[in-house]
């Protein structure tokens, strides 16, 4: 895939000397993605995604079972390395997919948006399945948090 993905470690900015240091916009959206990830019921890894367009959040998503489905009591993939074949054992919808789906449910176009991604296990690029969805959704960039 030729999708542009950025693994940024953004810095802090201050508008004036002597004033409180504010987080950069990148840090701000990644912090929100971290908060979104805390909603994930996944036993293996929590992932949060935030879709931003024209400096406004248009959607969020976290990994977990489809709406109305039961949460896992044991992880069917606990011994399967992340990024390996997904299989049918896991009922989770990925955070990136949920963010795209939620945007569509709300009638928000994702074309030209930026996806901010945070995972509980450190930087982790989207899987091949999510990469295809990101490309087809017209997402311009993916920022992967620390």
Tokens 């908060």, located at residue:
35
Active site (annotated) includes residue 88: no
The count of C-alpha atoms lying within 13 angstroms of the C-alpha of 127, restricted to the half-sphere facing its C-beta, is 17
Tokens 């930026």, located at residue:
114
DSSP at 69 = P
Which three-class secondary structure state does DSSP give residue 139? coil
Q: Choosing from 34, 69, 96, 97, which is the catalytic residue? A: 96
Beta bridge partners of 141: 114
Which three-class secondary structure state does DSSP give residue 10? coil
Active site members: 96
């Amino acid at each position: 895939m030729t999708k542009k993905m950025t693994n940024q470690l953004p810095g802090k900015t201050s508008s004036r000397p002597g004033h409180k240091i504010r987080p950069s916009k990148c840090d701000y959206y990644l912090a929100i993605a971290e908060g979104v990830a805390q909603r994930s019921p996944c036993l293996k890894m929590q992932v949060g995604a935030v879709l931003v367009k024209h400096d406004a959040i248009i959607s969020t998503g976290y990994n977990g079972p489809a709406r109305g489905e039961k949460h896992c009591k044991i992880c069917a993939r606990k011994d399967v390395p992340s990024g390996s074949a997904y299989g049918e054992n896991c009922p989770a919808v990925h955070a990136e997919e949920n963010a795209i789906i939620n945007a569509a449910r709300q009638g928000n176009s994702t074309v030209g948006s930026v996806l901010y991604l945070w995972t509980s296990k450190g930087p982790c690029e989207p899987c091949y399945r999510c990469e295809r969805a990101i490309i087809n959704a017209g997402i311009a960039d993916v920022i992967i948090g620390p």
